Structure 1
Amino acid sequence: MKKIYGRLMIIVLISILLFLSMLTMDAMAANTSYDDFKILLQQEVIGVVSDQTGMPLPGVTVIVKGKNSGSTTDIDGKYSLAIAPEDVLVFSFIGFKTHEEPVNGRREILVAMEEDISSLGEVQINAGYYSTTKRESTGNISRVTAEEIELQPVISPIQALQGRMAGVEIIPGGNQPGMAPTIRIRGRNSLREDGNFPLYIINGVPINSAPIESNSLLGDTGIDPLNTLNVSNIESIEVLKDADATAIYGSRGANGVVLITTKKGKNQKTGLEARVYTGAATVPNRMDLLNTEQYIQIRKQAFINDGVEPDQFNAFDLVLWDQNRYTDWQDFYFGGTSSITDVNLSTSGGDENTSFRLGGSYHKQGTVYPGDFDYNKVTTGLNLNHVSDNKKLNIDLSVNYGLDNNNLVGFADLSFNAFYLPPNAPQIFNEDGSLHWEDWAEAGWSNPLEGFFNASTTRANNLVSSLGVSYELLQGLTIKSNLGYTNLSSTEVLKKPKRSYNPANRESIDHNSTNLDVDRKSWIIEPQLLYTKKVGNGKLDALLGGTFQESNYTSLGLEAQGYVSESLIGNLSAAESISNAVNQNTTYRYTAIFGRLGFSLDQKYFINLTGRRDGSSRFGPGKRFANFGAIGGAWIFTEEPFLKNNLSFLSLGKLRGSYGTTGNDQIGDYGYLDAYEATIGPGGLYPTQLANPDYSWEINKKLESAIEFGFLQNRINLSLSWYRNRSSNQLVGYPLAATTGFNSVQANLPATVENTGWEVELAITNIRSKNFHWQSFFNLTVPKNKLVNYPDIEQSSYANTFKVGSPLNIRLLYQYQGIDPETGYYSVADVNQDGRLDYEDRIVVQDLGRKFFGGINNNFSFKNFSVNFLWEFVKQEGSLSFSNPGNLSNQREEVIQALDPGSGFQRVSQSYEASVAYFDALESTFPFLDASFLRLKTFSIGYSLPSNFLQGIGLKDGKIFLNGQNLLTLTNYEGMDPEVPTGGSQFAGLQTVTGGIQINF
């Protein structure tokens, strides 16, 4: 470790010295007096940019040739720029040929741009340590831009990617704001759930993608570490998928890489942008459950069928509770309306040397549940960019800070009882707002909202900062250094006052609290050397760099009891006692050297070589370093003379492929060491972890081949990719026998997991005229995951969890046999006929994964109006419960059919035998059914205010918009939400409608 620290100090000193030297050279090269004279000669030029049909083109980049000043056109294609009379303007836009126009002293310049059949090359893609174009890329990189996500009323930017990218599967974590979604890039590679997180990079700085721990309702999935980002401040999100794209990140890129780039300032007159939207969200669906009349009828029939007399103990819902009372518990629990408000302000500007962007936002979201709960987020961001007059020195500074405050109900999931409570159950609250206990206690039940006055508050502060400095030493040779620092702190307090609990038990209950503090800090330094040179008809790009990173993790969990007053709960100094203290403090160090060599010939042959040697402190001595690399190639065959002149309809034809390896070290720190903790008594230690210094990296070998087409001057673009990823040397906590004294030991298992699949991406410009524009985008993923091999799995502890040849996401089920004609109950197969049901009888392997998924996106514009909508589709199976007629809980409305013979439901009964048969059936194929869906994920309508009106009130741009999410779902699934088709009672996405206005000053 001393050697590593010594190297780090050398790198830091060199970076500082280089930075100071660059500033000195830049100052020496400047010619200030001449620049001041040129500024005096500048004049304002205005104009309009359109296509060949006269249709205005918004978003066209207009720059001064040879300088770093410029602007972009507004919604009407208009621009304005302060320039010198002898300057030359350069107009560039995706899909059109770059156009140069000498000013020659003119004050107004109108430009009609020509479509470019090779426009694919204009799309710039962030590939991490370097940039490329869609046309020249040898790897598989998907991209979404600000226009697609900035107005979505979501908390985490990951949620905005649903249905927009092939190979990227995103499943919501739940219906509470702040819950971390599950993101899988080309499937699950590791046997461990926590070994499948992708790498998150924000402006070049990696952050820990693992969800933040929580003791609240967010604890099931954890808290998304991206919650504190401002979605409206994101310029683009790129997802790197194959070996060619991810290998340069080595062990960190095994599960894919998500690159998030925030917005930067523009070299134009300082302006102010304001955007405000507000709206509401509701739960879009309800399950059809029994009403009181139906429920009472079927419950009485159960006692008749069983020959049992109902009394206050076995049928208090029939004897004690009002049989004419009806409560729609779904409406009671989650029938409210969640209000949403979002405010964004930003200012940006600059000159040909320096530009900036400073912005801030506020987001508030309410709840659909009873009670006063909400989520609040405040963010601010600064981007500062500087380039020297001689264009040799570049400095990029980015600072993003977010603060969120999540106030949640402090007990069990509120939606659970909405489906199980009998419809004639008594009231929850008294008239004074306190919890009602008497009727519930008489029946031997607790109030379903016991704990309602508990309060959970989770506050998170997140700082992500980066500094990039580069200097061109010689023509084509640039030295560069990226530095980053992140600090994420989460403080959570769960308050439990006495009034949340039954008064009969309050004498034995204290006011108490549970406290959890989590702190993540990291720094990174990445010096790099870049070289670019033309070689004959080819171009060579080389990159050599190093990574030095350290991450510190601290968590402290406490339980406090004995507060004398409810107002003091959470103030640890006021607690009578503190117990169950859990403290963790770990340090992770990572170092690497990496390189890239790219070569292109005649703009039609491309090859890309990447390599990386990684070192991780999570492995023992002798196992810490490993090598990873990849090769990628592409051939644009339509540039060949025999095709270029004979297939005029084919504007692009490209073959692409890659192969390489990445690693994975996503395990706990210090797992290779023995660990001890102090005994309760003084002077003692006891072992808590068994050492294994011999485990090493998981290895992921990635193979891909793809073909891309562009038809009719790239009005139609089609991409078809096939991939195969094999992850071996699996890192898991290997279970040990109880006689060893330990539950598990960290080890490598001889198991291989394979992900294969097909990805299709299609982009079509259907209509492009002066007043009307229509574009369509389609993506489809057909994935397949399986455990390829695992020697002697039958003798391992995973014999009942995984099966060789089957996916990892499976359940082993009994075979459902229908209704037993003798008992009238559900029946499952006793395969070995030993008179009992166990794992030997679970012969059905149920795949819980998605068979295919994708999205269909359409963008329309007509004059000042725009319409955009995205359909998300998924093919899958799910389960549906609530099929136990006669049980003391509500059921699906269809269960009323059980009163008639041959309904498919078991005999109406409230007996123990009926319950056993029902729960056995739930572990069989009985509850599984098609849960595929087609969902209108997003829908938006916008209207750009007329330019004449805007000029009259002193504005540059203005737009009003209306957005909707989850507006319509087409499915045969009868549960709450096919997106989380487990049992039927869970739901994730709310139906949201927001409207707002955006203005630019």
Structure 2
Amino acid sequence: MTIMKNRIKGLFVIFLMLGNLLAFAQNITINGVITAEDDGFPLPGANVIVKGMSIGASANFDGEYTLEVPNEDAILIFSYQGFSSREVTVGTQRTINIALRTDVNELDEVVIIGYGSTTKKDLTGSIATIKSEDLEAVRSTTADDFVQGRVSGVLLTQTSGQPGGATSVRIRGSSSINASNEPLYVIDGFPVDNNSDNLSAGVAEGPSINALSTLSANDIASIDVLKDASATAIYGSRGANGVIIITTKRGLNGEVQINYDTYVGVSKVIQKLDVLDASQFAFYVNESRYNGSGEPRFYTDPNSFGAGTDWQDEIFRTAITKSHDLSIKGGNQDIKYAISGSYLDQEGVVIETDFKRYNFRVNLDFKATEKLSIENSLSLNKTDFNTARTETTGGTEVASSAITGAYQFNPLLPVFDPEGNYTKGNFIVQNDGTFVNDVNNIQEQIPNFPSPVAYQNLSESQGKATRILDNLAIKWDFAEKFQLKTTLGVDMNISEQFYFRTEEIDFGNTPGAFAAQAKNTATSYLAETTVTYTNTFSNRHRLNALVGASWQDFNIETLSGNALGFPTENFGSNNLGLGLNPGVNSNIIESRLISYFGRVNYILDNKYIFTVTSRVDGSSKFGDGNKYGFFPSGAFAWNVSEEEFLQDSGLYLKLRLGYGIIGNESIAPYSSQSTFKPTYHSFNDNAVVGQLPSTPANSALKWERTEQYNVGLDLGFFNDRLGLTIDAYQKNTDDLLLNLQVPSQTGYIQSVVNAGSVRNQGVELGINAQLFQGGFNWDVNLTGAYNKNKILDLAGLDNIPTGFGILGISNWQLLEEGGEIGAFYGYVSDGIIQLDDDPATTPTFATDTFTPGERKYKDLNGDGVIDADNDRTFIGNPIPEYTFGINNTVTWNNWDLNVFMQGVYGNEIANFNRINLENLNGQGNVLLEAFSNRWTPENPSNTYTRAADGPRNIVFSDNYVEDGSYLRLKSATLGYSISSKFLSKMNINKLRLYATGKNLFTITNYSGVDPEVSFGGQNNNLSAGADFGGYPTSRTYLLGLNINF
């Protein structure tokens, strides 16, 4: 028995040891969290199995899992419905956190179209989509900034670097000369007015503020850009310039999700102009006086002045930007909500400029019954801003602009005089370095204008705006396959601007201080009803039909006042009644649009797709016989990849054809009616107010009509890892709405008529490539577009001069059949007159004399005299022929990197800034390059003129027209998401740190501060590409934090 017991004990010990060894071999415990890669949220129910075995586990509600594997060579497969599976070898890891990537086929992604949605594979028109995850890589204060370079065929130009400044957006070129070329914006189903002129209070010194700057980027779920007529015809008269549909984020069914995003950044001007310092300026003044008037040199020791004042350093600063954004989403089966609030505080790189924005948004979805649901989108926005007068508009006040003043102001002068007052342009620096306020010495003085620092610190240009946008939609499934939707909405924008200029910085043409106030209330009411029918027959036929009616009312009320010569400046602009000659103006502008529309979409066997759309618009803006317009379109797409011979090839191929007629009614109300303007006359020695005819009635005035053709090709290779989209189009716009000057004997000033036609032709290309997938992911998106603009006809009104007066120069653009909208028109430079040139064969202006060192021009008609009628020609085009963008997104483990480059090619810029900065007349400062390489008898330059004071014939020539092409690193963002194991104890789903750089470098031949330049705000059809010294673009660096709870 004892022996048996010992044997049993021995066997028990052996089995126990073997069991422990087996247990040790099989008891490798792995745990972790399974989340979604795009938003970091846990994936409850996600599966993890050991490859080749029946061992597996499921994640709990928090995405957590625990699994025992046999050994370190085990391979785990993580999967979840709608996401790509991932395989990971265990190795020495004991905690494996996995982020799964969404596996939605790109062709099945939802695309928002007018009054509905579809999938990408069912599209017949040309539509581009930017998703919320694409927006997260960019930090921008305006919603329209996201389309720049990311959508082919869209040209976005920042018309001002001022915080909150307006942008100019052109989709497939410019089709109109005097009417607006801006696209229609639709926010959550509400067509909004983004015309900055309509929404601005309009104080003369005020900026052009972007109406979309009230929208927080973090609220946006997607941006869809509708480009061709078959896509935009559902919007009829407002679809000619394209449509941008912005959809904001909505609630979801599930646990509450809280997201907080914050960042802080610094900005500086991307470039300064290299002008003369004090010593160089003294040399320059000496030489210009001696060469011009023959006076002796004023400064005996120019070097003694040193560097002097760098006015660019005085007016430009390092600006701070701070942003906070908080959103809460959640809900259940019956009610869903998305609530967000944000605050942006953005300093401008010019002193005394800034932009503050406060946003609050509530999106609610309520399911009242199985057949009745209600949606409401409410946003409240408030903005406050301080601005700078940045661009010269004419006359001699070139330095009254803070920016041009920084380039041109006298570097010999300090900021303050000995008494602590700001110096002015008429202060004369003596030979010993002292200076006096030499008001009366006209011969010696530089023009009397304030320094840029004085202008910014002694003037106030403030504004504030409040916007309320509410859109209520009621959906009723009143019968099987049928849905009735009624929408009621209001968009109210209240804008106020205040301007005050102290007496100390008057320009000599107004006595004392000047003040102005303005208030603008723009309100739009919307009522729409649609009925939609959707059905599928025999699994072969899919039909979607929509009919609807829309009514939208527009009302703009303005009130403004101004005065000058105040006895006290203590009240600023808040007591206009104290001033002299107070002026008051008020106005009410009303217009209305009534529409009826419909669309039928039919799909056969998922192969053949037909879309027919029509809309009838009635506008109060046009004549009695032309108030209504009919805008039809049709499109066909053949999904070739659904044919049997391609079904298993891994190739996606779709052909698209589209045609449509769309309109443009973007002109001022009452343009078809006779209008008058008030005027003052003397009657019996008393001033009386009368009415002066302004525009004659035109009952025949009608819509601009755009006929557009589109051919498209969609390709997908390697199961859509490589995608290619090509579109070719032609847009012909007839019955242009033109503002024409009329003979003065008619008693009128101008008239709006339908005359002429314009054509835009182009090709667009989009490439999407998933270069790498798995642990290391690299996606590349490329866009490119070509557009050619041509004026076909001006109805006998050829050679229409345009271009407002600036520096004594006018009509620097010309509209001509065969030309392009906004083309530059001027003289052709022929170098510099040299000492050995023959006066008899060197053509000059009739008012000029032959002077070596002055600029000469080509005598195009050979009559020996340079004159405006015969010796000017087209010398440049401001519209780029090519636009392109390259977007790279890389993710690896917890790291993400986005690099975006954007550029244009084939356009010119009219650098009016150089006209002053190269006019070596001894008054304002000039470019170092121009003075260092000026003409002298010893240096017979053929590029820059001599330095000489006195009058000089300033004309616009190709000498000031430069290549505007550029390639810019628009943004780069590097992010890191903290590992989940450190966050789960704090109930944080995701914590991401990121750093962003914007406008990091630019490759260009343009000599100005920035090639992305345009003058005149959004509606700059005839002043695009002109550089008058606008608010400079800044380079920005941001550090941010994003947290998901």
TM over 0.5: yes
Distance 1:563 1:206 in 2: 44
Partner of 1:525: 527
Distance 1:809 1:153 in 2: 32
Map 1:388-787; keep pairs closer than 5 Å.
388=368, 390=370, 392-409=371-388, 412-423=400-411, 425-430=412-417, 434-437=421-424, 439=435, 441-442=437-438, 443-444=444-445, 445-449=448-452, 451-452=455-456, 453-501=458-506, 509-536=511-538, 537-561=540-564, 564-572=567-575, 575=578, 579-645=582-648, 648-650=649-651, 652-676=652-676, 685-749=691-755, 751-769=756-774, 771-787=775-791
After TM superposition, give the deviation of residue 290 of structure 1 in Å: 3.2
- Tell me if 1:894 matches 2:929: yes
Partner of 1:813: 826
Q: Secondary structure at the match of 1:269?
A: strand
Asked if structure 1 preserves the Cα contact closer than 8 Å seen for 2:978 and 2:990, the reply is yes
More deviation, 55-64/634-643: 55-64
Asked if structure 2 preserves the Cα contact closer than 8 Å seen for 1:163 and 1:873, the reply is yes
Q: Which runs of 5+ in 1 are unaligned?
A: 1-45, 65-76, 83-89, 98-108
Asked if structure 2 preserves the Cα contact closer than 8 Å seen for 1:767 and 1:774, the reply is yes
After TM superposition, give the deviation of residue 574 of structure 1 in Å: 5.5
Partner of 2:1021: none
Asked if structure 2 preserves the Cα contact closer than 8 Å seen for 1:81 and 1:268, the reply is no
Please tell me the residue identity of whatever aligns with 2:476. Answer: Y
Partner of 2:192: 207
Q: Secondary structure at the match of 2:234?
A: helix
Q: Secondary structure at the match of 1:135?
A: helix
Partner of 1:941: 974
Partner of 1:230: 216
User: Residue by residue, what CA displacement relative to the aligned partner does 1:859-913 show, whole Å, maximum 9, x if unpaired?
Assistant: 0111111110100121133345244456433333323123553533245231547
Q: Secondary structure at the match of 1:195?
A: coil
Asked if structure 2 preserves the Cα contact closer than 8 Å seen for 1:344 and 1:359, the reply is yes
Aligned CA distance change for structure 1 residues 429 and 150 (closer, same or farther; 3 Å)? farther
Partner of 2:295: 309
Map 1:12-411; keep pairs closer than 5 Å.
80=61, 93=82, 119-150=105-136, 152-192=138-178, 194-211=179-196, 212-213=199-200, 215=202, 219=206, 222-303=208-289, 305=291, 308-310=294-296, 323-334=305-316, 336-370=317-351, 372-388=352-368, 390=370, 392-409=371-388
Distance 1:218 1:96 in 2: 59
Distance 2:786 2:60 in 1: 45
User: Residue by residue, what CA displacement relative to the aligned partner does 1:389-425 show, whole Å, maximum 9, x if unpaired?
Assistant: 63x22211100110000122468431102222343x2
Distance 2:98 2:463 in 1: 55
Asked if structure 2 preserves the Cα contact closer than 8 Å seen for 1:121 and 1:135, the reply is yes
Please tell me the residue identity of whatever aligns with 1:618. Answer: K
After TM superposition, give the deviation of residue 989 of structure 1 in Å: 2.3
After TM superposition, give the deviation of residue 113 of structure 1 in Å: 8.5
Q: Secondary structure at the match of 2:498?
A: strand
User: Residue by residue, what CA displacement relative to the aligned partner does 1:89-108 show, whole Å, maximum 9, x if unpaired?
Assistant: x96648899xxxxxxxxxxx
After TM superposition, give the deviation of residue 735 of structure 1 in Å: 1.5
More deviation, 249-258/967-976: 967-976
Aligned CA distance change for structure 1 residues 643 and 475 (closer, same or farther; 3 Å)? same
Distance 2:675 2:222 in 1: 44
Distance 1:94 1:209 in 2: 39
User: Residue by residue, what CA displacement relative to the aligned partner does 1:740-787 show, whole Å, maximum 9, x if unpaired?
Assistant: 1111122111x1111111111000001011x21110000001111110
Distance 1:583 1:570 in 2: 18
Distance 2:822 2:191 in 1: 28
Partner of 1:70: none
Asked if structure 2 preserves the Cα contact closer than 8 Å seen for 1:703 and 1:724, the reply is yes
Distance 1:815 1:497 in 2: 43
Give TM-score scaled by structure 1 length.
0.84
Distance 1:464 1:558 in 2: 28
After TM superposition, give the deviation of residue 944 of structure 1 in Å: 0.9
Aligned CA distance change for structure 1 residues 757 and 324 (closer, same or farther; 3 Å)? same
- Tell me if 1:927 matches 2:960: yes
Q: Secondary structure at the match of 1:513?
A: strand
Please tell me the residue identity of whatever aligns with 1:724. Answer: Q
More deviation, 239-248/176-185: 176-185
Aligned CA distance change for structure 1 residues 874 and 57 (closer, same or farther; 3 Å)? closer
Partner of 2:948: 910
Aligned CA distance change for structure 1 residues 891 and 93 (closer, same or farther; 3 Å)? farther
Aligned CA distance change for structure 1 residues 745 and 155 (closer, same or farther; 3 Å)? same
Distance 2:339 2:114 in 1: 24
Partner of 1:803: 816
Asked if structure 2 preserves the Cα contact closer than 8 Å seen for 1:974 and 1:984, the reply is no
Distance 2:414 2:595 in 1: 63
Asked if structure 1 preserves the Cα contact closer than 8 Å seen for 2:40 and 2:990, the reply is no
Distance 1:974 1:694 in 2: 47
Q: Secondary structure at the match of 1:80?
A: coil
After TM superposition, give the deviation of residue 202 of structure 1 in Å: 0.9
Please tell me the residue identity of whatever aligns with 1:700. Answer: T
Aligned CA distance change for structure 1 residues 641 and 218 (closer, same or farther; 3 Å)? farther
After TM superposition, give the deviation of residue 326 of structure 1 in Å: 2.1
Distance 2:959 2:511 in 1: 44
After TM superposition, give the deviation of residue 128 of structure 1 in Å: 2.0
More deviation, 563-572/548-557: 563-572
Q: Which runs of 5+ in 2 are unaligned?
A: 1-30, 46-57, 64-78, 87-96, 391-399, 428-434, 439-443, 681-686, 803-810, 838-851, 1014-1024
Partner of 1:788: 792
Distance 2:420 2:549 in 1: 62
Q: Secondary structure at the match of 1:614?
A: strand
Asked if structure 1 preserves the Cα contact closer than 8 Å seen for 2:801 and 2:815, the reply is no
Aligned CA distance change for structure 1 residues 887 and 561 (closer, same or farther; 3 Å)? closer
Map 1:838-877; keep pairs closer than 5 Å.
838-875=868-905, 876-877=907-908
User: Residue by residue, what CA displacement relative to the aligned partner does 1:460-497 show, whole Å, maximum 9, x if unpaired?
Assistant: 00111101111112221111112211100101111233
Asked if structure 2 preserves the Cα contact closer than 8 Å seen for 1:275 and 1:344, the reply is yes
Please tell me the residue identity of whatever aligns with 1:355. Answer: K
Please tell me the residue identity of whatever aligns with 2:530. Answer: Q
Partner of 2:1044: 1000
User: Residue by residue, what CA displacement relative to the aligned partner does 1:567-612 show, whole Å, maximum 9, x if unpaired?
Assistant: 3233347535663222220211110110000000111110100001
Asked if structure 2 preserves the Cα contact closer than 8 Å seen for 1:871 and 1:934, the reply is yes
Aligned CA distance change for structure 1 residues 515 and 56 (closer, same or farther; 3 Å)? closer
Distance 1:251 1:61 in 2: 47
Aligned CA distance change for structure 1 residues 578 and 134 (closer, same or farther; 3 Å)? farther
Aligned CA distance change for structure 1 residues 947 and 320 (closer, same or farther; 3 Å)? closer
User: Residue by residue, what CA displacement relative to the aligned partner does 1:150-193 show, whole Å, maximum 9, x if unpaired?
Assistant: 5644332112322211111111111212221111111111111x
Distance 2:482 2:464 in 1: 46
Asked if structure 2 preserves the Cα contact closer than 8 Å seen for 1:306 and 1:910, the reply is yes
Asked if structure 1 preserves the Cα contact closer than 8 Å seen for 2:292 and 2:948, the reply is yes
- The alignment of Structure 1 onto Structure 2 pairs a total of residues equal to 899
User: Residue by residue, what CA displacement relative to the aligned partner does 1:411-463 show, whole Å, maximum 9, x if unpaired?
Assistant: 8431102222343x211224786423554632533332454411111110011
Distance 2:1029 2:308 in 1: 20
User: Residue by residue, what CA displacement relative to the aligned partner does 1:123-148 show, whole Å, maximum 9, x if unpaired?
Assistant: 11110201011111111111212233
Asked if structure 2 preserves the Cα contact closer than 8 Å seen for 1:60 and 1:91, the reply is no
More deviation, 204-213/686-695: 686-695
Q: Secondary structure at the match of 1:384?
A: strand
Partner of 2:909: 878
